[in-house]
Amino acid sequence: MIELGDDILRKALGKGCDAAEVFMKSASGISVEAKEGSVEALEASRDFGIALKVIRKGRLGFSFTTESADADRMVDEALEGALWTAADEFIGIPAAEPSAEPPVFDEGVASLSDKDMIRNALMLEESALASDSRIRKVRKAEVSRSVGSTAIINSRGVSMSYESSYYSAHVTALAQDEGGDSQTGWEYAGSRRASDVDVQAVGREAARRAAELLGSRKITAVRVPVILSPSVAIDFLEILSASLSSEAVQKKRSFLIGRMGQKIISGFVNIVDDGTLPWTAGTRPVDDEGVPTRMKTLVAGGVLRGYIYNTYTARKDGVASTGNAVRGGFKTLPGVGVTNIFITPGKSGSGDDLVRSLSRGLVILGAMGVHTANPVSGDFSVGISGLWVENGAAVYPFKEAVMSGNILDMFRKVEGVGSDLTFYGNAGSPSLLIGKMDISA
């Protein structure tokens, strides 16, 4: 891939552009879904693409192709595009820098055969069904694996290629009791390393989540402390993380504009973005522009310490890129996105320890509609389900309640951070104890 990228780069520079960047990606994968003891679906994918970014007299040109033999046309189209775009002083190409080599490729993932994947999907479904007699069916039991290669070559010395892998298991189980109540539970696990994903444990956890909600009741309106389970805390963290993007700040789509150096949330909360964590979903040696990834503390003791940047947004603010250029694919220019964002674990013990600290409150195990939170104001109103707690113990499950508030206000009320850091994809959080929140029926 490097040789092909070098050739494309030479052609672009030879035709008069001032700077150029070649991005190349190839990937292959397979996903298998099991249902009622047989294979419901098996899908294989293979993808390859090349993207070219050129700069000529301060103007940007961009083109892509899925055929390496079509590189000459791609070069001509990118140069043609640069004739029609407006000049922008902040467009640039990053210079080469030394980068770390975090582990992102596992031969164990690459060696998984179609038979292995089918076996694992069936095992995933069976583990959910076998773990509790109240599990009536599994709505979805799917395992997926992918391997790929990425190369980035530019006219300022970047010449980087790396291989990566990812393996995941996801299942949704349906439980039903004798009274006819039915509840669903889900679980997901994913890693760049196959040995990190225990498909049977994923199935058992989904079944446990479904069964513990059986007999759920409606509750009256209350104002009580709540504990966010890691998966729910991650949902809210992802909304908060969108406002940590320099692109969102520059476009005035962030509720953190002008807050640098200010205490924005509880002092118990530290938020880190780290593209070097071993085997995690967002880990890679460089971002999608070839800038080395690294660990960045964005919020320390509740104080906003930084935004995340790609090359373009960094030049606008007169700072260095943080290695957070992220492409949706080779067909698009890079935007700004997190690598692995997470709330660091605290000293309040496990999620169970947090429950034992509550005299009266809620454990929120599911939240619907977090994605509808206002990205500018941070206001939200979401449907929640979980467990009612009294005297440090879960008394009964609840359903169909609504929690309303503001994301920053909620994070300001954090009174305890658990030690149970859990990742789902490239976002992670421990359990969080939140001060009194408004809950309505």
Question: Tell me: the pLDDT tens digits for 277-308?
Answer: 999 999 999 999 999 999 999 999 999 999 99
Ranges of each domain in the chain = 2-212, 216-441
Instruction: Give which of 368, 363, 373, 395 is closest to 384, Cα–Cα.
Output: 368
- % of the chain surpassing 90 pLDDT: 97
- % of the chain surpassing 70 pLDDT: 100
- What gap in Å lies between CA 206 and CA 214, rounded to an integer? 13
Tell me the pLDDT tens digit for each residue of 342-380.
999 999 999 999 999 999 999 999 999 999 999 889 999
Tell me the pLDDT tens digit for each residue of 215-245.
999 999 999 999 999 999 999 999 999 999 9
Task: With H, G, I as helix, E, B as strand and everything else as coil, classify residue 255.
Answer: coil
pLDDT attached to residue 275: 98
Task: With H, G, I as helix, E, B as strand and everything else as coil, classify residue 425.
Answer: coil
pLDDT attached to residue 375: 85
Task: With H, G, I as helix, E, B as strand and everything else as coil, classify residue 254.
Answer: coil
Q: What is this structure's pTM? A: 0.95
pLDDT-based confidence at 133, cuts 50/70/90?
very high
- pLDDT at 118 exceeding the cut of 90: yes
pLDDT attached to residue 157: 97
pLDDT attached to residue 357: 95
- What gap in Å lies between CA 144 and CA 127, rounded to an integer? 17
206: tokens are 């989904």
pLDDT attached to residue 365: 97
Topology of domain 2-212, per CATH? PmbA/TldD fold (3.30.2290)
Contact 197, 366 (CB under 8 A): no
pLDDT attached to residue 178: 85
pLDDT attached to residue 180: 82
- What gap in Å lies between CA 249 and CA 308, rounded to an integer? 10
Instruction: Determine phi and psi for 221, rounding to 5 degrees.
Output: -65, 135
Average pLDDT of every residue of the chain = 96
